[in-house]
Amino acid sequence: MRSKYSKETTYTSDTTSYHIPAESCRIPFSALQDTNNFNKNSLIGLGGFGMVYRGVLCDGTKVALKRCKPESSQVIEEFQTEIEMLSHFRHPYLVSLIGYCDENNVTILIFEYMENGNLSRHLYGSYLPTMSWEQRLEICIGAARGLHYLHNNAVIHRDVKSTNILLDENFVAKITDFGLSKTRAELDQTHVSTVVKGTLGYLDPEYLIRES
Instruction: Tell me the catalytic residues.
Output: 159
First to last CA, the chain: 40
Residue type, 31: A
Instruction: Tell whether residue 66 is among the known ligand binding residues.
Output: yes
The radius of gyration computed from the CA coordinates of the chain, to the nearest angstrom, equals 17
Which segments are annotated as binding site for ATP? Answer: 66
Which segments are annotated as binding site? Answer: 66
